[in-house]
Structure 1
Amino acid sequence: MSRSNKAPNSGWWRGGVIYQIYPRSFQDSNGDGIGDLPGITRRLEHVATLGADAVWLSPFFKSPMKDFGYDISDYRDVDPMFGTLSDFRTLVDRAHQLGLKVMVDQVYSHTADQHPWFVESRSSRDNPKADWYVWADAMPDGTPPNNWLSIFGGSAWQWDTRRKQYYLHNFLTSQPDLNFHCAAVQEAVLDCVKFWLDFGVDGYRLDVVNFYFHDRKLRSNPARGAPDGSDPAVPATNPYGWQWHRFDKSQPENLAFLQKLRALVDQYPDTTMVGEIGDDDGLARVAEYTAGGDKLHMAYCFDLLGTPHDAPYLHRVFSRFAEVVGSGWPCWAISNHDIPRVATRWGGSKPPAGLLRAAIALQLSLRGSSCIYQGDELGLPEAEIAFENLQDPYGITMWPEFKGRDGCRTPMPWSSADAQLGFGSDKPWLPVAESHRALAVDRQEADAGSLLNHYRHLLDWRRTQPALIHGGMDLLPVHEQVLAYVRSHEGQRVLCAFNFSERAASLTLPADLGTPQPLADSGATGATLRGSTVDFAPWGVLFARLV
């Protein structure tokens, strides 16, 4: 098939719901304490009955596991700890039987230092892959070529004694950055993309997709000053936040490569891509990278992945996005494997049940697609991990002010009575959280009023509301406690309103809005209509048809 051919696409991903699985922590099938592909296959029915459209699998490819799979040493094979290519074939087939799409997580900005490409590249300055990575000479005083910093701490440059040069690593020193200015690198990456598409996957989640290109001139980033802690992607204790990242990522050349990538993916029917974007202006970058229908299908940034979540903050986020989105398409996420769990991040040590219900109601009624992280349907809080049990190199480096990402990566609790919560038969790679025992799947399945069953009902109901999947979105004026907007599609108008506070609230609707009629079958509670006024209990939610 030539690259000019474009396969049909149903657009299932527009307004679709993607369930993220972190393979190490989903289900251990062989008793080694690590989740694996057969374990995922065994539990796929849980995702299907939840009502998701697709699964996103965090990396399961061959890797030295310095960053737990986000350091890939072979893009085309399964790491033995997760299983085999045959196991992955079984997983894909089972997912498709259940009506689930399969999206794989690929890391193309960098590889593991054990990848054969890097082994060859570092061997000399004149080998065939000498320019496949970002190499640079030292300054006259021996220091790195510029001031770029690694997200994981310290300089983004590592000295290599073989070439007597520095190489760039935006993350761990064992994660050298590929040089996308090299045409051969682009072709090699596209060949890897094609491999899994030919295998039968339905799409990609692309890790740090705005990190592919760097400034050719290696200009230093301008100073930003001490961070105020408002950036959800970077802790205030991390010096990475002291710079404006003008030259080490989000370069204009990235757009042309994304167009090449889209042209390839579009050869395969009903496929999609969602990109992760960490940028000084993430919303604008999401809009840019998804505009025009010729780059990414959708993308997410970190604006909903921080601590702020009150109504004025949310109104600012969605107002700003409405200004820049154009023809772009977002994929909203409020949790993932890199961020403390939303139950704790937004709800504190004792998250209110109403907050968790309001959060998912918000996420699923926004214009765009959604990513749900495993365990959020159970309301899992962030797990407390003792220092001696930490696995995340980011947390180990930044301890004690930042404890890393292990607290959101602990094993999925399936069975409350089991010693390891049904995850596996042996001690898991991270300890199970006792705070998760009462929230296990079996407990919640037996409780008609549980958060899990609320998720299932909400996802099922949402499918009956075209405006929530395909419609436009118009914000109502900012309110101290209540976020409200209208979703509209082909004559259907749905008012969505949320009291994001622990106090009762009232919202007076605009006179020209129309008459709201509550959609009682939505499962939303805590809101009553009194003429043109909506009275909310704490964390109350209203879905209403406007006539």
Structure 2
Amino acid sequence: MTDRSPKPASKRSDWWRGAVIYQVYPRSFQDTTGDGYGDLKGVTKRLGHIASLGVDAIWLSPFFKSPMADMGYDVSDYCAVDPMFGTLEDFDALVSEAHRLGLRIVIDQVISHTSDQHPWFIESRSSRKNPKADWYVWADPKPDGTAPNNWLSIFGGPAWEWDGVRRQYYMHNFLASQPDLNFHNPKVQDALLDTVRFWLDRGVDGFRLDTVNFYFHDERLRDNPPLVRDPDATSHDAPDVNPYGMQDHLFDKSQPENLGFLKRFRALLDEYDDRTSVGEVGDGARSLKTVAAYTSGGDKLHMCYTFDLLGPDFTATHIRKCVSAFQQAVTDGWVCWAFSNHDVMRHVSRFAKTEDEQERVAKLAIAVIASLRGSICLYQGEELGLPEADLAFEDLRDPYGIRFWPSFKGRDGCRTPMPWEKGEAHAGFSSAKPWLPIPDEHRHMAVNVQDGRTDSVLGHYRAMLAFRKAHGPLHDGEMTFLDSNRDLLAFIREKDGEKLLFVFNLTREPQEFRLPGTDVRPVDLPGFSPRSAGGILGLEGLDAFCGRL
């Protein structure tokens, strides 16, 4: 397998600006214990592969102690590693080896809610007068016994669960076993920041903040109004089959008090050198406004990402609209773009119209996202061009998919284990039956099949990320869109006198583009070779061009 020699991580305090972050879903990356689940030692074992891509950092999905009702996003101890994944010593070894290879470690901090098995919640629900009685969002029922208001859970049903001991309802934005913390209580904020400091002291380089706009709720518990749908909206909080999307979520999230907490969070990070933060913002049509508020001023989050590019639309019109809207709304903040993650269908399956074009779409997609202004997140397996796995209902583990099957199949299809060796048992992921099945088509796309081939998707990712790193404008240069027909995405990236023109044809038909002047010199963009004559650039379907101005 291709590797690279150890290289110290960048010493720039703003290393995160323009960085490429690789998301690892630990339970599906590499199993070293033979129980069918990936673990931290497995991540350490495969760090060479990650380093060979040329990325800057790793985002680790949750590995904390948890009953795993929501695959670790229900934390029962913020300062312990779940035995499924190993030990704190295993984590320390991972950080040490990652740093030796020049990779930074960003961990998933899930602090909007805990597991109902967290000691804080066990104490809070025991009575109305204990020291942690108001550490969670508790409310009395209406006179008829129904929930305090009309708020809904993303995972289906009301966002309220009755507790017979306290004889009150508690709020949960997700599963009933994931009660929401009461951020209006300063002691809750203090306790959570203490857990953040715990990981900072262990050498963590940053945090991905799960559902960062869900921290605060409206203390008056006002009902959400119905949503008046905007047909031009690019960001949605839930699939259409989920009634959660029928409300305008004015009061159950994105409250103004969150800005004060984010300033406290940033102040803590600033006590340490070269740390970063990236927030996940799901706020429907208001997402960009929320991102602007959360990343402005240099005293809150370093960057955020939304769901704008995580939908089915892979067109020039859509991408230009999303990027332009961000540039207009977020004047002094920073964005992190992604086409895939652990919560959405893999983008090869979303964007490709046929199986035959999946490889071409995979190569074009990384060329597009690596050329945009911002940092980028890659999700494990996309460097192989993996499509979404089609799983049977009996194989599902995701409570979201089980709840809304068959109209929505959930998130398991993008969480299947990494295929490492085509000919090995379970594609080299584990010696035991994996927690989710590995499709045969993934086995044929394994790392050892693609490694060393420059024409493979894996080879293309390495080449494209090296291209991004070699050109200063792609790090944090300015970005200006050019007029074209609506089927072409054309823009200039510029920094320190270097100007690069990018043109992408995301259609399946040949297109022409008039080059701006006669002085455009072609630059070798990995995997693409369109032709120009007489100032006219000809691009085939799913094609790309880069030129120096």
TM-score, scaled relative to structure 2: 0.95
Q: 1:405 aligns with which of 411, 426, 436?
A: 411
- 2 CA distance for matches of 1:504 and 1:299? 36
Aligned to 1:5: none
Change (3 A) 1:352 1:80: closer
How far residue 331 of structure 1 moved from its aligned partner, in angstroms, is 0.4
| Partner SS for 1:236 | coil
How far residue 233 of structure 1 moved from its aligned partner, in angstroms, is 4.1
Please tell me whether the aligned partners of residues 526 and 537 of structure 1 are also in contact (alpha carbons under 8 angstroms).
no
Alignment of 1:198-217 (within 5 A): 198-217=201-220
Q: 1:443 aligns with which of 440, 446, 449?
A: 449
How far residue 356 of structure 1 moved from its aligned partner, in angstroms, is 1.4
Alignment of 1:315-326 (within 5 A): 315-326=320-331
Alignment of 1:61-76 (within 5 A): 61-76=64-79
Q: Does 1:161 align with 2:167?
A: no
| Partner SS for 1:410 | coil
Change (3 A) 1:121 1:44: same
- 1 CA distance for matches of 2:122 and 2:472? 52
Tell me which amino acid in the other structure corresponds to 1:310.
Answer: T
- 2 CA distance for matches of 1:185 and 1:527? 57
Q: Does 1:272 align with 2:276?
A: yes
Aligned to 1:373: 379
How far residue 528 of structure 1 moved from its aligned partner, in angstroms, is 2.0
Alignment of 1:337-352 (within 5 A): 337-350=342-355, 351-352=357-358
Aligned to 2:5: none
Change (3 A) 1:462 1:226: closer
Change (3 A) 1:225 1:269: same
How far residue 524 of structure 1 moved from its aligned partner, in angstroms, is 4.4
Please tell me whether the aligned partners of residues 226 and 241 of structure 1 are also in contact (alpha carbons under 8 angstroms).
no
Q: 1:327 aligns with which of 299, 307, 332?
A: 332
How far residue 477 of structure 1 moved from its aligned partner, in angstroms, is 2.3
Please tell me whether the aligned partners of residues 420 and 432 of structure 1 are also in contact (alpha carbons under 8 angstroms).
yes
Q: 2:27 aligns with which of 24, 29, 37?
A: 24
Deviates more, 1:22-31 or 1:416-425: 416-425
Aligned to 2:479: 473
Aligned to 1:416: 422
How far residue 227 of structure 1 moved from its aligned partner, in angstroms, is 9.2
Alignment of 1:420-439 (within 5 A): 420-439=426-445
- 2 CA distance for matches of 1:478 and 1:178? 49
Please tell me whether the aligned partners of residues 295 and 304 of structure 2 are also in contact (alpha carbons under 8 angstroms).
yes
- 2 CA distance for matches of 1:338 and 1:275? 15
Render the CA deviation track for 1:94-116: whole Å, top value 9, x for unaligned: 10110000111010000000000
Q: Does 1:131 align with 2:134?
A: yes
Render the CA deviation track for 1:193-250: whole Å, top value 9, x for unaligned: 0000001110111100010011111111110158979655411100000011111111
Tell me which amino acid in the other structure corresponds to 1:235.
Answer: P
Tell me which amino acid in the other structure corresponds to 1:197.
Answer: L
Please tell me whether the aligned partners of residues 347 and 387 of structure 2 are also in contact (alpha carbons under 8 angstroms).
yes
| Partner SS for 2:370 | helix
Please tell me whether the aligned partners of residues 63 and 72 of structure 2 are also in contact (alpha carbons under 8 angstroms).
yes
How far residue 30 of structure 1 moved from its aligned partner, in angstroms, is 0.7
Please tell me whether the aligned partners of residues 344 and 382 of structure 1 are also in contact (alpha carbons under 8 angstroms).
yes
Q: 1:259 aligns with which of 245, 251, 263?
A: 263
Q: Does 1:494 align with 2:500?
A: yes
Tell me which amino acid in the other structure corresponds to 1:381.
Answer: P
Render the CA deviation track for 1:302-335: whole Å, top value 9, x for unaligned: 0000001111111111121111010010000110
Deviates more, 1:530-539 or 1:325-334: 530-539
Alignment of 1:41-190 (within 5 A): 41-190=44-193
Aligned to 1:13: 16
Q: 2:366 aligns with which of 360, 367, 382?
A: 360
Please tell me whether the aligned partners of residues 286 and 299 of structure 1 are also in contact (alpha carbons under 8 angstroms).
yes
- 1 CA distance for matches of 2:260 and 2:531? 51
Tell me which amino acid in the other structure corresponds to 1:252.
Answer: P
Please tell me whether the aligned partners of residues 234 and 308 of structure 2 are also in contact (alpha carbons under 8 angstroms).
no
Tell me which amino acid in the other structure corresponds to 2:386.
Answer: L
| Partner SS for 1:199 | coil
Deviates more, 1:499-508 or 1:228-237: 228-237
| Partner SS for 2:253 | coil
| Partner SS for 2:397 | coil
How far residue 348 of structure 1 moved from its aligned partner, in angstroms, is 4.0
Tell me which amino acid in the other structure corresponds to 1:471.
Answer: G
Q: Does 1:295 align with 2:279?
A: no
Render the CA deviation track for 1:408-459: whole Å, top value 9, x for unaligned: 0000000011130010100000011111011100000142210101110111
How far residue 475 of structure 1 moved from its aligned partner, in angstroms, is 1.1
Change (3 A) 1:226 1:316: closer
- 2 CA distance for matches of 1:515 and 1:52? 33
| Partner SS for 2:200 | helix
Aligned length: 536
| Partner SS for 2:547 | strand
How far residue 254 of structure 1 moved from its aligned partner, in angstroms, is 0.5
Aligned to 2:200: 197
- 2 CA distance for matches of 1:406 and 1:352? 20
Tell me which amino acid in the other structure corresponds to 2:409.
Answer: K
Render the CA deviation track for 1:506-545: whole Å, top value 9, x for unaligned: 122445xx7321111x314142223332211111111111
Q: Does 1:307 align with 2:324?
A: no
How far residue 354 of structure 1 moved from its aligned partner, in angstroms, is 2.2
- 2 CA distance for matches of 1:94 and 1:54? 13
Please tell me whether the aligned partners of residues 74 and 114 of structure 2 are also in contact (alpha carbons under 8 angstroms).
yes
Unaligned residue ranges in structure 2 (runs of 5+): 1-10
Deviates more, 1:531-540 or 1:128-137: 531-540
Aligned to 2:8: none
Q: 1:389 aligns with which of 357, 382, 395?
A: 395
Q: Matched residues, percent identical?
A: 56
- 2 CA distance for matches of 1:527 and 1:12? 33
TM-score, scaled relative to structure 1: 0.96
Please tell me whether the aligned partners of residues 235 and 306 of structure 2 are also in contact (alpha carbons under 8 angstroms).
no
How far residue 490 of structure 1 moved from its aligned partner, in angstroms, is 1.3
Unaligned residue ranges in structure 1 (runs of 5+): 1-7
- 1 CA distance for matches of 2:289 and 2:534? 39
Please tell me whether the aligned partners of residues 101 and 202 of structure 1 are also in contact (alpha carbons under 8 angstroms).
yes
Tell me which amino acid in the other structure corresponds to 1:20.
Answer: Q
- 2 CA distance for matches of 1:504 and 1:288? 41
- 2 CA distance for matches of 1:269 and 1:231? 34
Please tell me whether the aligned partners of residues 53 and 462 of structure 2 are also in contact (alpha carbons under 8 angstroms).
yes
Aligned to 1:219: 222
- 2 CA distance for matches of 1:118 and 1:477? 56
